[in-house]
A and B are shown apart, each in its own frame.
Chain A
Amino acid sequence: MIPTSHYLFLSLGLFTIGVIGVVTRRNVIIILMSIELMLNAVNINLVAFSRLVGSAEGHVFAFS
């Protein structure tokens, strides 16, 4: 059983990389890709907390 904090560390790392990509790159397509990375990090957070709480509502949030 992996603790939830590890998922949060992973999500924070991916989000930080996405923020750095948005701020520092000049190419618009790479900025969009960095935004996609940030959205995925948030989805990892939602699913990890959904696993912690024990309901599937985080999955619905991540899906919609």
Chain B
Amino acid sequence: MLDQIVFYFFAALAVISALLVVTRRNVVQSAIFLITALLATAGIFLQLHAEFLFIVQVILYAGGIMVLFVFVIMLINLDVSIHQVQFNRQWWLGLLLALVLGAQLILAVALGDRGCRWANLLLQRRWNRVRNSWAACCSTNTCFRLRLRRSCCLWP
């Protein structure tokens, strides 16, 4: 019960603040609502028992990237950009993409569990109760060694 309350609270918070990010006129308000959306995503990670990703999301995104965004916002001139035109004339393209993705959503809701029958086979394996950071570290060291060696120069 508490699980569901936490999930739906953070999901509603993420969706509402994402809508506000896209629609606000002022860039600073968009940045603040983006912080809210990232923190709500972090809460969903915590609800999914991904504690390591939760703390990475809080430190790296809400702490690092958002400081970068606010820094860039402070460097540009805000008074000019507020009085300019805010939206493109590509609203038909946005409407088309939203219709396609929304049709996928409606189709998924209409199909229900029949569409996910292949996924139910995977449910046989259950989430084992090891610690999350330890499990992530183990699978990093075993399965992803080659890929991580290649991309280690790109890591923060």
Residues of chain A at the chain B interface (Cβ within 8 Å): 1-2, 4-10, 12-21, 23-27, 29-30, 32-34, 36-37, 40, 43-44, 47-48, 50-57, 59-60, 62-64
In Å, the complex CA distance between A49 and B22 comes to 27
Q: State how many angstroms separate the Cβ of B155 from the closest Cβ of chain A.
A: 7
Given A29-B27, A29-B30, A56-B139, 17 more pairs with CB closer than 8 A: A6-B11, A8-B108, A10-B11, A10-B15, A12-B101, A13-B105, A16-B98, A21-B21, A26-B84, A30-B30, A34-B21, A37-B37, A44-B44, A51-B49, A64-B147, A64-B148, A64-B151
In Å, the complex CA distance between A21 and B136 comes to 33
A-B complex: 5 closest residue pairs judged by Cβ atoms: A56-B135, A21-B22, A23-B94, A54-B125, A16-B101
Q: State how many angstroms separate the Cβ of B98 from the closest Cβ of chain A.
A: 6
Q: In the complex the two chains form, is A26's CB within 8 Å of B128's CB? A: no
The verdict on A59 contacting B50 (CB below 8 Å), with A9-B105, A36-B65, A54-B128 known, is yes
Within 8 Å of chain A (Cβ to Cβ): is B3? yes
Task: List A contacts of B53 (CB < 8 A).
Answer: 43, 47, 59, 62-63
Q: In the complex the two chains form, is A20's CB within 8 Å of B139's CB? A: no
The verdict on A37 contacting B15 (CB below 8 Å), with A16-B98, A27-B86 known, is no
In Å, the complex CA distance between A16 and B81 comes to 25
Task: List A contacts of B90 (CB < 8 A).
Answer: 23-24
In Å, the complex CA distance between A19 and B93 comes to 10
Q: In the complex the two chains form, is B125's CB within 8 Å of A53's CB? A: yes
In Å, the complex CA distance between A48 and B98 comes to 23
The verdict on A10 contacting B52 (CB below 8 Å), with A20-B94, A24-B91, A26-B84 known, is no
Q: State how many angstroms separate the Cβ of B101 from the closest Cβ of chain A.
A: 4
The verdict on A29 contacting B45 (CB below 8 Å), with A10-B14, A18-B18, A60-B144 known, is no
Q: In the complex the two chains form, is B27's CB within 8 Å of A30's CB? A: yes
Task: List B contacts of A1 (CB < 8 A).
Answer: 3
Within 8 Å of chain A (Cβ to Cβ): is B153? no
In Å, the complex CA distance between A36 and B76 comes to 20
